[in-house]
Amino acid sequence: MPGRNEWETARQWGAKYGDLVYIKNLGTGYLFLNSYEDAIELFEKRGSVYSSRPQTTMLDLEGWSDWFTSVIPYGDNLRRARQYFNRIFQRSVTKNYYDVQTQSIHKLLYKLVQDPDHYRHHIRQAAAEAIIKIAYGYEILENDPAVDVIDTGIRSVSDALAFYLVNAVPVPTPSMLSKLTELYGRGDNETFIAQTVAVAFGAGGDTTVSALLTFLLAMVLFPDAMKKGHEELDRVIGKHALPSFEDRPRLPYIEAICKECLRWQAITPLAVPHLAEKDDIFKGYFIPAGTVLYGNVWAMLRDPKRYPDPDKFIPDRWLPAYGEEPPLEADKMAFGFGRRICPGRFFAENSIFIGVASILATFNIEKAVDEHGVPITPTEDYLSSIVRHPKPFKCKITPRSDASVLAVRQATKQL
């Protein structure tokens, strides 16, 4: 199997030979699950067998397997880490972060008005700002080196952050770190808590950035979707205000754009691999213990039977009026499966909603033009990695009106 875009290769093989794609490499078996139903059957219903993670010598040598939540084998440490995450990021708690998320997006709008060409940098900064405030209770500075930790990988991230955050400004709200330390921070548990908090930063920043970059790319390539989004925002909240979380139930088209962003360009196309801990039999096939299983989120979200014209960005597919039944929700796959499902998913969906709604309310996002005035159509090329990001592309981000600029000024004045 080629070492790039394995999810697409597994999808194509699946279409040719059947949903289950099995390959063997250097003695290890890899099973790609191209169908949602198979992923649910194995990862959810047979969760006692398929909830661990493959361990590599590198992970072990570098000491990640003890604390880095996404790679911890199934067991006590994993349950402890997931308990911490649930305390802070379960659905009912995430509304406590609405203000922080909204403020970081308002700052982003302000920067996009001032300096739209560096949108990538501003989006990264906004995502880092929100998660650092919630995780550590710190307000980071513009161009804070802490943000770069997201890009440089999160090896020893907790040490690096502690170092950088010395420059940041503490905010008087309880953070993930302070809450967990208060609740569970006895004895040597403090180190584990600090490490788990660092995971929130590592897992939560980059993924949200990917979603918002995909959103911008979609707006450039599918201007009809942008137009419909603008119409809904103007009708529901008017042209002089910025959207808030309270507006969400009245913005079904914006919600549909968010879902389509998750579907159209899977952020984590193979989720994170699960490990078979025991021998098992599935659909007549023997799955030996030690097999590494990938839920092929990419293939599931581009299944043409569920999502006609899967390569196109069509938010309307999520609206009740589009067909008979709305299709299977993208978040059922985009955030993984079973006992390892992403614990940050509610928070992530909120970040995407407020980002998409606010950017759309304020800006037109269009093709940039070259030196001859010819519009540049960006490609759909993505960097091939566990977390996919679109390759840098040019686009033109301009305020929709003076009223939108004024709304941003007013919103940021109070910050």
Show the site string, 41-80: x = touches ligand HEM by CB under 6 A, - = not: ----------------------------xx----------
Instruction: Please state, in angstroms and rounded to a whole number, the distance separating the CA atoms of residues 209 and 47.
Output: 30
Nearer of residues 315 and 336 to ligand HEM, judged by Cβ: 336
Q: Are 225 and 257 in contact (CB under 8 A)?
A: yes
301/361 with CB nearer ligand HEM: 301
Contact flag: residue 347 with ligand HEM (CB under 6 A): yes
Query: What binding mask, one character per residue, do residues 86-105 give for ligand HEM by CB under 6 A, x or -?
Result: ---x----------------
Q: How far apart are CA 18 and CA 36, in angstroms?
A: 13
Tokens at residue 72, please?
């911890």
Footprint of ligand HEM on residues 178-207 (CB under 6 A)? Answer: 199-200, 203-204, 207
Using rule CB under 6 A, residue 344 touches ligand HEM:
yes
In the list 334, 354, 360, 397, the residue contacting ligand HEM (rule: CB under 6 A) is: 334
- Give me the least distance between CB of 342 and ligand HEM, in Å please: 3
Beta bridge partners of 169: 139
388 φ/ψ angles, rounded to the nearest 5 degrees: -85, 140
Q: Per the annotation, does 261 bind a ligand?
A: no
CA distances from 387 to 50, 99, 210, 216, 270 (A): 22, 27, 8, 17, 9
> Nearest CA to 9 among 27, 28, 34?
34
Question: Min. distance of Cβ 200 from ligand HEM in angstroms?
Answer: 4
Tokens of 236: 């529901």
Nearer to ligand HEM, 88 or 221 (CB): 88
Please, which residues have CB within 8 angstroms of residue 129's CB and are 6 or more apart in sequence? 104, 107, 139, 140
Shortest Å distance, C-beta 285 to ligand HEM: 21
Residue 340 touching ligand HEM (CB under 6 A): yes
How many whole angstroms separate alpha carbon 101 and alpha carbon 205?
12
Rounded to a whole number of angstroms, the distance between the first and last alpha carbons of the chain is: 51
Residue 386 binds to ligand HEM (criterion: CB under 6 A): no
- Could you tell me what percentage of the chain is helix, strand and coil, using 3-state DSSP and rounding each to the nearest 5? 55, 10, 35
- Report the nearest approach of ligand HEM to the CB of residue 267 (Å): 4
Question: Is 229 near ligand HEM (CB under 6 A)?
Answer: no
Residue among 32 and 337 whose Cβ is closer to ligand HEM = 337
Residues 267-286, one symbol each (x = binds ligand HEM by CB under 6 A, - = not), give xx--xx--------------
Task: Enter the tokens of residue 285.
Answer: 């096939």
Distance in angstroms (rounded) separating the CA atoms of residues 31 and 18: 12
Element housing 373 (H / E): none
- Cβ nearer to ligand HEM, comparing 85 with 222: 85
As measured in angstroms, the least distance from the Cβ of 333 to ligand HEM is: 8
Q: Which residues would be at the binding site for ligand HEM (CB under 6 A)?
A: 69-70, 82, 85, 89, 199-200, 203-204, 207-208, 211, 267-268, 271-272, 334-337, 340-344, 347-348
Residues comprising the binding site for heme? 342
